[in-house]
């Protein structure tokens, strides 16, 4: 998909009663705080900082819906697993995400991001199961590929697969926001999920 237009069209927070009804195929990005969800979205959108990123975990605290070409929505979810976010936010995070996963009519897939340097923990496994149990297809994105040596990649991927006990059908992509490697493959997957076909030459 060629990005002709990218904009933040909807925001939903813990106090939002009605979730946005975008009427567009939605793809959500879940994962631990600081794993690189907002950075991945910026890379996909070809925008430097449309989605706000930070080296301090807990940056994104609302569900942010980025619409591409009026065709598809990428949903940046607040991350989990960071102890220092305010207690009341931590308590309302689960119900907010659960409500979205269970009730969104337009959610087509959930991309679960895992840092290549970390063995997935209990929170990651719970998120993976949560995605499946709410009837969605998880796609694993292994982030920050640039942070480890090439020779260690294979082992790191195996560790992630084993820790999450991924099913054979679960697709995995490797990504780095630094050199944008993996960006086009992930974008093609989004096209496929959202049923977007670009006309040749566009």
Ligand X SMILES: Nc1nc2c(ncn2[C@@H]2O[C@H](COP(=O)(O)OP(=O)(O)OP(=O)(O)O)[C@@H](O)[C@H]2O)c(=O)[nH]1
Out of 38, 64, 67, 176, the only residue in the binding site for Mg ion (CB under 5 A) is 38
Report if residue 182 touches ligand X, rule: CB under 6 A. Answer: no
CB nearer to ligand X: pick between 112 and 164: 112
Site for ligand X in 32-61 (CB under 6 A): 33-39, 53-55, 57-60
Site for ligand X in 80-139 (CB under 6 A): none
**By rule CB under 6 A, what count of residues binds ligand X?**
24
CB 33 within 8 A of CB 57: yes
Site for Mg ion in 153-192 (CB under 5 A): none
Report if residue 39 touches Mg ion, rule: CB under 5 A. Answer: no
Report if residue 59 touches Mg ion, rule: CB under 5 A. Answer: yes
Nearest approach in angstroms of CB 43 to ligand X is: 8
Long-range pairs for 163-167: beta carbons < 8 A, 24 or more residues apart: 163/119, 163/120, 163/121, 163/124, 163/125, 164/114, 164/120, 164/124, 164/125, 164/128, 164/140, 165/125, 166/128, 166/140
User: Look-up: residue for tokens 């840092």?
Assistant: 115
Report if residue 60 touches Mg ion, rule: CB under 5 A. Answer: yes
Report if residue 64 touches Mg ion, rule: CB under 5 A. Answer: no
CB nearer to ligand X: pick between 25 and 57: 57
Please give the structure tokens belonging to residue 183: 């960006």
> For the packed helices 122-133 and 87-103, what is the interaxial angle rounded to 10 degrees?
30
CB 177 within 8 A of CB 143: yes
CB nearer to ligand X: pick between 34 and 71: 34
Please give the structure tokens belonging to residue 21: 């009804």
Nearest approach in angstroms of CB 199 to ligand X is: 32
Report if residue 144 touches Mg ion, rule: CB under 5 A. Answer: no
How buried is residue 171: exposed, middle or buried, by Cβ count under 10 Å (0-12/13-18/19+)?
Answer: middle
Q: How far apart are CA 101 and CA 194, in angstroms?
A: 17
Nearest approach in angstroms of CB 59 to Mg ion is: 5
CB 175 within 8 A of CB 157: no
Binding site for Mg ion (CB under 5 A): 37-38, 59-60
Binding site for ligand X (CB under 6 A): 31, 33-39, 53-55, 57-60, 78-79, 143-144, 146-147, 176-178
């Amino acid at each position: 998909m060629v990005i002709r237009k990218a904009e933040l069209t909807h925001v939903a927070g813990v106090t939002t009663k009605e979730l946005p009804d975008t009427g567009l195929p939605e793809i959500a990005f879940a994962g631990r705080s600081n794993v690189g969800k907002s950075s991945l979205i910026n890379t996909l959108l070809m925008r430097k900082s449309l989605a706000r990123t930070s080296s301090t975990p807990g940056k994104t605290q609302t569900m942010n819906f980025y619409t591409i070409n009026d065709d598809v929505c990428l949903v940046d979810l607040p991350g989990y697993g960071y102890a220092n976010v305010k207690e009341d936010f931590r308590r309302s995070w689960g119900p907010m995400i659960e409500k979205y996963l269970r009730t969104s009519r337009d959610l087509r897939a959930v991309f679960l991001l895992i840092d290549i340097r970390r063995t997935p923990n209990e929170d990651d496994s719970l998120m993976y199961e949560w995605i499946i149990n709410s009837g969605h297809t998880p796609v694993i994105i292994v982030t920050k590929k640039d942070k480890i040596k090439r020779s260690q990649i294979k082992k790191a991927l195996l560790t992630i697969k084993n820790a999450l006990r991924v099913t054979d059908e679960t697709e995995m992509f490797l990504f780095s926001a630094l050199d944008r490697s993996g960006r086009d493959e992930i974008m093609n997957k989004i096209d496929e999920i959202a049923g977007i076909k670009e006309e040749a030459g566009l």
